[in-house]
Amino acid sequence: MLAAGPVLATEVEDEERAVERQQETDHPAPTKPAHAVQSEDGDVASEPQPQQTALALLNRTVEPGSFATLHWTPDQSFASIATPVPVLVAHGTKPGPLLCLTAAIHGDELNGIEMVRRLMYELEPDQLAGTVIGVPIVNLDGFRNGSRYLSDRRDLNRYFPGTRKGSAAARVAHSLYSNIVSHCDYLVDLHTGSQKRVNLPQLRADLDNPDVVAFAKHFGGMTVLHSPGVAGMLRDAAVKDGIISVTMEAGGPNRLEPQAVNYGLQAMETLLENLKMRKASRFWSAPQPVFFESEWIRAAQGGILLSEVKLNDKVKKGEILGTVTDPISNTGSAIIAPYDGRVLGMAVNQVVHAGFAAFRIGEVKSTEEVEAQAEKASKEKTQGHPGPEEDSGDSNEAEPHSAGHPRDSSNVAVVDAPEDPDDTTE
């Protein structure tokens, strides 16, 4: 018997079952129209209901009310050894939005992979309005190597929407974008901190865009950071195309953090409820998001960084966030909070160079203030953004080192938005 809906995955699901599921879904979707009989419990609609249609994606057709595992093969010249990337699809019986979730664009960012798995396998397509497409591991090569980057050492999240004839990274970006992302109404791109930094679970969103502000409010009580994004990021490319997108950051790379995963999952469950895609299985105690403007506070000198604060701590202007000490000369300096705020991201204790972005301190903004600003920015915005680059080639290299320059002679240096692409962790 064919499974029309997903079987709830449990922690103990073994490989055999996974393979079985794969085989089921590798065959065309069941011909039996899912839920042809819908009136059993008196849910008889006398008025004509809008009909959900089959979804055509990646050369397959997914019937309403079914779950499918599809495969995306990033275009590349070495096709014979290319590994297809699994794409999970839950296609609801009722019409609704198409929500896309992408994780591990940076191959070492694991928390998002687990969030996508849990969310996708708790969805019941026969209870779903709209469609959820989840790509748990976009950068499969990086994932296998425990690396943030593609195998050509480029950062994929600087090449969207990509080009058909550009660098290898631009081609992979183009393939993902045109085959999957272009179908989405909404996109949540899942990340963690990078380069030995950790982030409080948070959304990064362009709060100058009223649609994005409204979307960010659907995640319940999650912290939202204003971040316009930088060119080449998936979220930036998608928003410019009218696909309403945010990045979700949770935790750090190369680790699985149950708390961060649970928090992110809960936020996405809340999102599904607020988009009216399904009923939520649990509820927030604090349903309102908290908006922040934030800046990175940098080390003024190189040395051993030792923090004196924790993620989510409230800090006061003038408070010591951490110290940087030269282990040879025994000279050191403190990194000081330049204003009152909250620790939203921070480096783990490590050896740093001068200019290293060490603490991300956020300042709360009221929802009214955020909405007013978005309205204003949206009015001011001249339409017509530059089109896609002809060929990004090698000109768009973003090397993963940080080389910021202190802006003044005090102990701290503050970055102005838009942020340095080397230091944004998404």
Residues found near Zn ion in the complex (CB under 5 A) = 106, 109, 191
Q: Which residue is nearest to Zn ion (CB)?
A: 191
Alpha-carbon torsion (414, 415, 421, 426), positive or negative: positive
Distance CA 213, CA 158 (A): 23
- As measured in angstroms, the least distance from the Cβ of 69 to Zn ion is 24
- As measured in angstroms, the least distance from the Cβ of 108 to Zn ion is 8
Residue type present at position 244: I
- As measured in angstroms, the least distance from the Cβ of 204 to Zn ion is 10
DSSP state of 156: G
- As measured in angstroms, the least distance from the Cβ of 250 to Zn ion is 11
| Most distant pair of Cα atoms in the chain: their distance | 82
Which stretches of 27-93 are DSSP H helices? none
Q: Report CA-CA distances (Å) from 356 to 45, 197, 227, 237.
A: 61, 11, 19, 28
Q: Which two three-digit tokens encode residue 426?
A: 């998404």
- As measured in angstroms, the least distance from the Cβ of 198 to Zn ion is 12
Q: Which is nearer to Zn ion, 109 or 423 (CB)?
A: 109
What residues have CB less than 8 Å from 45, skipping those under 6 apart?
Answer: none
- As measured in angstroms, the least distance from the Cβ of 262 to Zn ion is 20
Q: Which is nearer to Zn ion, 106 or 298 (CB)?
A: 106
Q: Which is nearer to Zn ion, 249 or 273 (CB)?
A: 249
Q: Which is nearer to Zn ion, 106 or 235 (CB)?
A: 106
Q: Which is nearer to Zn ion, 65 or 162 (CB)?
A: 162
Token pair 């950790």: residue: 198
Q: How many CB atoms lie within 10 A of CB 69?
A: 18
What residues have CB less than 8 Å from 42, skipping those under 6 apart?
Answer: none
Q: Which is nearer to Zn ion, 147 or 323 (CB)?
A: 147
For residue 233, which of 225, 245, 219, 218 has the smallest C-alpha distance? 245
Q: Which is nearer to Zn ion, 157 or 411 (CB)?
A: 157
- As measured in angstroms, the least distance from the Cβ of 425 to Zn ion is 6
